[in-house]
Chains A and B, each alone.
Chain A
């Protein structure tokens, strides 16, 4: 079981969601985040005072997937979120030890 954490452009969230649906993954968590990688920000000027807007808005998508679906899911995310320009984002895959369903208390390891 792995946690896939994808940081993508805000306008790519729906595409990624649809793509993950096609590899039969339904649950996901989406968070608004700010950050930067290689992409440079903008300069904002208010009454002559310049501000570097270097932390750009991104969306973070988290999904937990069974080991056998990790490669498909990552491929689907990359395909859906890519524009080819700097600033497309990152995908991280992190091992998950345990997982519980709150409603029933049951433990699922896949």
Chain B
């Protein structure tokens, strides 16, 4: 038996060794290998797996960056009025730069180094100790540098999502200061609580309240969505809202942006497996099915209630589904993924078209209606549909797999999901109020009425998106 395994290993590893140009031609295949050869084989097998995982994770990191720029920048850029196009796009782009620099200084350390159950410590400040060696706590087969840069892309897109609520009226300086603070004082603690070793909500690394969040339903979407609502309320309505018409200036841009988001989301969710394995495939499939059924949900609701299905409805539904499936993607089978998507498509439609009008807040591009609502729906339903047949994340002391979600019979998971959801809501609510107040005192948050009238492109950035005259 053992000989057969060794032989199989040789067959698998030999071609890979040859690729590395470290000739193993001299090794007799049929001869019983010595102990040292076994160790070598083992090493090469590990190297081969690491190469495969690393390739996928680098691609995933690039896909997630693509979600911010161009994805989100185009999606939001098309939804604003023409005079604010560049202003909203540059906010996404500036965050790509700003969060990256912060991440190297302290951001990564506050999220992922060991610290308290609430926030990480300073062990990785200036990326100290982050190199090509894996960090086995998080991802044992890829360089920690890969893990670090992959997580950075999440830290970038999360504050960028909030700009959908502050669009067309928040000053650039205020945006920069607020987002920088927000990244350190809202994102970092939440990311540490849910994903960091020892975080209080971490499901696998010693959390007191094991919350299931595969790719960021609480950390990314509830946090940004709820903060978006706070921003919309703090800033107040855009001048003229809701009396003056403020239709999207180019749904073509939004359409392209939404398509890029959908594709990029495969890196976001399937990449969160942190390896190129079956779980990644499972998350990939759940992501796609969730987005598809949410698109149908939103369109159907719109068609029934308003008489016509719209392009904006289709792409909004897709994004809502992608948001909701994010926490569930690595825990649920395809059919439950479609149920989650459908619930999000219809739920977010109601939030955006009915609740927003009733309560009268000006969430300009519906960052709360889609990310806050969709994230909450998804985080809750993850507790319902998570199953050990997809991801055996819980074990007993003998290593046997335990039920994960309600469908497995673990109803208490719903309670933990509620704890996670409530924590994310509270941190985002309180953190955003305080940080907005601080930002307001330091640089101010709201553009003047004159600036709003003329447009932020010209008054904040001295340029215009379209100079089409001859």
By a beta-carbon cutoff of 8 Å, the part of chain A in contact with chain B is 44-49, 51
Task: Check B312–A44 contact: CB distance below 8 A.
Answer: no
Given A45-B308, A45-B310, A46-B312, the answer on whether A51 and B247 have CB atoms closer than 8 Å is yes
Q: Which chain A positions have C-beta within 8 A of B245?
A: 51
A22 to nearest B CB, angstroms?
Answer: 30
Residues of chain A lying within 8 A (CB to CB) of residue B312: 46-47
A97 vs B159: C-alpha distance in the bound complex, in angstroms?
63
Does B248 contact A48, Cβ atoms closer than 8 Å?
A: no
Which residues of chain B from 240 to 261 have a CB within 8 Å of any chain A CB?
Answer: 242, 245, 247-248
Interface footprint category on B:
10 to 19
B352 at the interface (CB under 8 A from A): yes
- The complex places the Cα of A45 from the Cα of B357 at a distance, in Å, of 13
Considering the chains assembled together, what is the distance between the CA atoms of A45 and B242 in angstroms? Answer: 14
A49 touches B357 (CB 8 A): yes
Is chain A's binding surface mostly helix, strand, loop or mixed?
strand
Q: How far is the CB of A32 from chain B (nearest CB, A)?
A: 13
Contact A49 B248 (CB under 8 A): no
Least CB distance, B157 to chain A, in whole angstroms: 21
User: Which residues from chain B contact A49 at a C-beta distance below 8 Å?
Assistant: 242, 353, 357
Query: In the assembly, what is the distance between CA of A59 and CA of B316, in Å?
Result: 34
Instruction: Sort A-B residue pairs by CB-CB distance and give the 5 closest, nearest first.
Output: A48-B353, A51-B245, A47-B352, A46-B247, A51-B247
In the complex formed, the residue of A with least CB distance to B353 is A48
Chain B proximity of A47: nearest CB distance (Å) = 5
**Which B280-322 residues have C-beta < 8 A from chain A?**
306, 308, 310, 312-313, 316
Instruction: Please give, as numbers and ranges, the residues of chain A lying within 8 Å of B353 by CB-CB distance.
Output: 47-49
The prevalent SS among residues of B at the interface is helix
Residue B53, interface by CB 8 Å = no
CB-CB < 8 A to A44: which residues of B?
247
Map CB proximity to A onto B351-386 as digits: 1 under 8 Å, 0 otherwise: 011101100000000100000000000000000000
26 contacts between A and B (CB under 8 A): A44-B247, A45-B306, A45-B308, A45-B310, A46-B247, A46-B248, A46-B310, A46-B312, A47-B312, A47-B313, A47-B316, A47-B352, A47-B353, A47-B366, A48-B306, A48-B349, A48-B352, A48-B353, A48-B354, A48-B356, A48-B357, A49-B242, A49-B353, A49-B357, A51-B245, A51-B247
Shortest A44–chain B CB gap in Å is 7
Closest to A44 in B: B247
A51 vs B248: C-alpha distance when bound (angstroms): 11
Query: Which residue on chain B has the smallest CB distance to residue A50?
Result: B306
How far apart are the CA atoms of A46 and B302 in the complex, in Å? Answer: 11
In the complex, chain B residues whose CB is within 8 Å of the CB of A46 = 247-248, 310, 312
A66–B264 Cα gap in the complex (Å)? 64
Shortest CB–CB separation between residue B357 and chain A, in angstroms?
Answer: 7
CA distance A49 to B248 in the complex (A): 11
Residues of B within 8 A of A48 (CB): 306, 349, 352-354, 356-357
| Residue ID in chain A nearest B310 by CB atoms | A45
A5 to chain B, nearest CB (A): 23
Nearest CB of A to B470, in Å? 14
Residues 26-65 (chain B) with a chain A CB within 8 angstroms: none
Please report the C-alpha to C-alpha distance between residue A49 and residue B366 in the assembled complex, in whole angstroms: 12
CA distance in complex: A46, B308 (Å): 11
CA distance A44 to B246 in the complex (A): 11
Tell me the smallest distance from the CB of B436 to a CB of chain A, in Å. 25
Which residues from A are CB-within-8-Å of B356? 48
Q: Apart from A46-B312, A47-B352, A48-B356, what 15 extra A-B contacts exist at CB < 8 Å?
A: A44-B247, A45-B306, A45-B310, A46-B248, A46-B310, A47-B313, A47-B366, A48-B349, A48-B352, A48-B354, A49-B242, A49-B353, A49-B357, A51-B245, A51-B247
Minimum distance in angstroms from B350 CB to a CB of chain A: 9
Q: How far is the CB of A57 from chain B (nearest CB, A)?
A: 15
Q: Which residues of chain B have C-beta atoms less than 8 A from A45's C-beta?
A: 306, 308, 310
Distance of A49 Cα from B313 Cα, bound (Å) = 12
| Centre residue among A45, A48, A49 by max chain B CB count within 10 A | A48
For B354, the chain A residues whose CB sits under 8 A away are 48
Chain A residue nearest to B354 (CB atoms) is A48
Within the assembled complex, what's the spacing in Å between the Cα atoms of A47 and B351? 10
**Cα of A45 to Cα of B352 in the assembled complex, Å:** 12
The distance from the CB of B302 to the nearest CB of chain A, in whole angstroms, is 8
A51 to B108, CA, bound (A): 45
A15 vs B354: C-alpha distance in the bound complex, in angstroms?
46
Query: Which residue on chain A has the smallest CB distance to residue B241?
Result: A49
List of A residues within 8 angstroms of B308 by Cβ: 45
Q: Tell me, rounded to whole Å, the shortest Cβ–Cβ distance linking B224 to chain A.
A: 18
The docked-state distance in angstroms from the alpha carbon of A47 to that of B352 is: 7
Question: In the complex, A51→B16 CA distance in Å?
Answer: 63
Tell me the complex Cα distance, A49–B306, Å. Answer: 10
In the complex, what residues of A have CB within 8 A of residue B357's CB?
Answer: 48-49
Q: How far is the CA of A67 from the CA of B245 in the complex (A)?
A: 45
Chain B: which residue is nearest A51 at the CB level? B245
Closest chain-A Cβ to B359's Cβ sits at a distance in Å of 13
Q: Give residues 332-353 of B contacting A (CB, 8 Å).
A: 349, 352-353
